Each structure stands twice: as C-alpha cells, then as structure tokens.
Structure 1
Amino acid sequence: MSKYKCIIFDCDGVLVDSETIGGGVLVDMANSLGANLKFENTNKLFKGKSLEDCMGIISKEVSKPLPSSFELEYREKSFKAFKEGIQPINGIAEVLKKLKVPFCVASSGPESKIRLNLELTGLLPFFDSNIFSCYTIQKWKPEPDVFLWASETMGFKPNECLVIEDSISGVRAANAGGFDVFGYAEHDYNNELRFEATKTFNHMEELLGFL
C-alpha cells in the first residue's frame, strides 16, 4: 500500500499542456514591444514562473516598464489560445481514473484559468471543488503556502501527501513545505528536477507504478 494518502497535482505542464501556449503568447507580446525572444526558448524562459516574474523578464528584455494593460491583454490572448489548442497531458486522464486516494490541484494561475483549462481538456469533473490557486492566498511558488493550504484543506499532513510538479520552483515549494515531490520530467529542458525531486519520471503511465 502506498504511504501517500493524498496527491497534489500542479496544473500547467502536469495536467494540461498549456505552458508552451501561454509562453508563446508572452513571446509574441514581448517581441511586439521590441524584444527579440525565440519561440524555441519559451519553456526555458518562462516555465514554472509566476506571471509577475515572466513580466519582469520581459521588462528587462525591452529595457522599460511594461504597459499597465499588459496582464489583462495577456489573459485575454492566452485564454483565446487555450480554447483553440490546449490538450491534456498524455496519459493523465487514465491516471486520475485509477487513483485510489483523494487528489487535488494546486497551481500558480488564477482559479479562473485553472478551471478553464481543466474544462477544455475534460479534466474538471475529476477535481470538483478541490482547486487551490496561489492568487487566492497571494503566495507563489517556491513558497510552500499553496501546497500547505491544499493539504490542510484536504485533511492531511504534508508527510502524508505527494506533490506532482514539473518545474524547479514547484519542486522547491514542495520541499520547503515538507512534502515528497515527484518531478514530471518529460519537458525538463534544463535537467533540473532530478537533483531536487524525491523521484522523477518521464511518462504519466509510470506514476501509478510508483504509487
């Protein structure tokens, strides 16, 4: 029997394949302001970072503050792009169907974005109200607060939970909160996760075997 009584999933890059889409919108918007970013570097630049941090990177690239409308424009453009192209991570629906312990999602994005992306990919019914957003508590990874909030609300201690993450900031947040964390490393372009995660894996079908 698994020692884990609850699984906490990150959303972007773990449940839904959204990071390349959202990052592509950021690259487009950055380049329209004078940056010269490459689409092939999207994940290396923005993966696992809060929108505020991404905006900071872009501001540095263009050597000026971003327009006050930047965040709203990004939300509008990215939501449109998600509706047109987002897909679930390969194999994740089968994993969720077979899990025999409670699970939830804890993500850096606004709850509206989490719900939209889960709905578009057919995953929302798996989570019901078990959705935890950093925006709600105004604390972002690598701070552990969103995972601590999720575990407490679900009724478990950190050492009874397993976090599934795909970014180094998420792995560090889980570690800081006292959680075991498995790194989903299929798109770990910087080869970072294996040094700090409890375990790494490259394909979702491997996860059930570990549990």
Structure 2
Amino acid sequence: MKLYKCVIFDCDGVLVDSEPLSNQVLADMTNELGGKIDLEYALTHFKGGSMQSCYDKIAKLVPQPLPNNFKEMYRERSFELFKKALKPIDGVPQLLEELNLPFGVASSGTKEKIIHNLALTGLSPYFETNIFSCYEIQKWKPDPDVFLWAAKTMGYHPEECVVIEDSLTGVTAARAGGFDVFGFVAHDYNNELPAVATHTFQHMQELREYLVN
C-alpha cells in the first residue's frame, strides 16, 4: 500500500454520524410539505449532496413551492437535533488520537456546521485550523476544488494525500483532483463506492493498517 503524507477527511458520515439525523430532518420537512418519502429514500437520494442539490430534488417531490426560508429552517432543525443525538463515527476518536500524519477536514457543509459538529462530538482539538468548507470557495463536490485547496493549504500535492469519503459525490470529486480515495462503505446504500474508490473499508479501525505507522 502506498505511503501517504497527508489525510483529508470528509466530515458528515466519515467523522460524525450525522447523515441519518440530517436526512431524517429533510424527510420530515419534505413530508410536511406534501411529499411522501422515508429515511431510506432520503439517504439514497440526498446523502453526500450539497444543500442546493437536495433543495432542488425536494422541490420536485412536493406539490407546492418550497418556503423561501427552507434552507434556514433545515439548518436550525438539524442543529437542534445534532445537539441531542450527534456522535462521532465509531472508531474515529481512536484513529485521530493515533494518527501521526497531518490531516484536515473538507466538507460540503458550511464552516459553521463543520465546527459545530466537531465540537459536539469532541473532535475539534484534532483539527484546529485545518477545516475547509465548500462554501468558502463556492465550489461543491463533485468539483475537486475543496480537496485541492485543502491539500495546497496544508502543503501537499494530491498524489501525496489520501481522501476519506463515504459518498459517490465525494469520491468522484477526489478522484477528479488526482487523489487516492478510501471509501467508507458502512452506509454505502447503493453499493456505488467499490467501482470508483481506490480502496474501500467497513470500519474505521481498518484505516490503522494503512495510515498509522
């Protein structure tokens, strides 16, 4: 296995177990507006996408225009749920504690959301300033720019880094930027990652073999 000099983590679904929570909020809000979807549908169709892409999909599922403050309502409701129920992905704190490579987080969420979620799960001390949001550059996955920005800021070339992702959108973005990508498939509901990721894994402890010297 190739030796890497830097690790770039996605946040939602990789560091923090937010996908079931955030997608339940999206499902609830969709149904309140006349849609008829469940959590499985939301995870299958919304997971890994930008807020705008989710918004556009939901707009086609409901019989009325979405409220102008739909995105703000979603963020408020999801933040409240995160306060009560958000946890780190199993094995992540132990992995970060042992990891002796530079690493950062690159996410499609707002920087406020990334910081909020890392704080709620006790992961903030591990990341300090290495937090990269698509909103900061106005480019979203599957565009690779957030990963390229993260690598350049931390002082590495794409071929020196490995990206840890859990969505097809994220894996596609990283591969487009020239990165190796390890796909976390524990919640790969559509079995999409094995065909595109450099390597796939089911549990965070598996990464110790490749990343912890």
TM-score range, shorter chain: over 0.9
How far residue 84 of structure 1 moved from its aligned partner, in angstroms, is 0.8
2:91 matches 1:77: no
Deviation at 1:118, TM superposition (A): 0.4
CA distance in 2, matches of 1:210, 1:160: 14
Match of 1:189, SS state, is: coil
Number of residue pairs matched by the alignment: 211
Shift of 1:175: 0.4
Q: How does 1:1-211 map to 2 (within 5 A)?
A: 3-211=3-211
Report the Cα distance in structure 2 between the residues aligned to 1:63 and 1:35, rounded to whole angstroms.
7
Give the counterpart letter for 1:116 in structure 2: H
1:74-133 Cα shifts (integer Å, max 9, x gaps): 111110011010000000011101111100000000000000110000001000011000
Q: Is the 8 A contact 2:33 2:64 kept in 1?
A: no
In the aligned structure 1, how far is the partner of 2:29 from the partner of 2:210?
40
The separation in 2 between residues aligned to 1:35 and 1:112, in whole angstroms, is 29
Give structure 1 stretches of 5+ with no counterpart. Answer: none
| Matched position secondary structure for 2:61 | helix
Distance 2:202 2:41 in 1: 20
After TM superposition, the score normalised by the length of structure 1 is 0.98
The 2-side partners of 1:185 and 1:173 are apart by: 17
Determine what percentage of the aligned residue pairs are the same residue.
58
- Between the aligned partners of 1:40 and 1:189, the Cα distance in structure 2 is 9
TM-score by length of 2: 0.97
Cα displacement string for residues 52-81 of structure 1 (whole angstroms, at most 9, x for unaligned residues): 111111100014431111011111111001
For residues 27-71 of structure 1, what are the alpha-carbon distances to aligned partners after superposition, in whole Å with 9 as ceiling and x for unaligned? 111111100011232211211011111111110001443111101
Q: Which runs of 5+ in 2 are unaligned?
A: none
- Cα RMSD, aligned residues only: 1.1
**180-189 or 31-40, which deviates more:** 31-40
Amino acid at match of 2:55: M
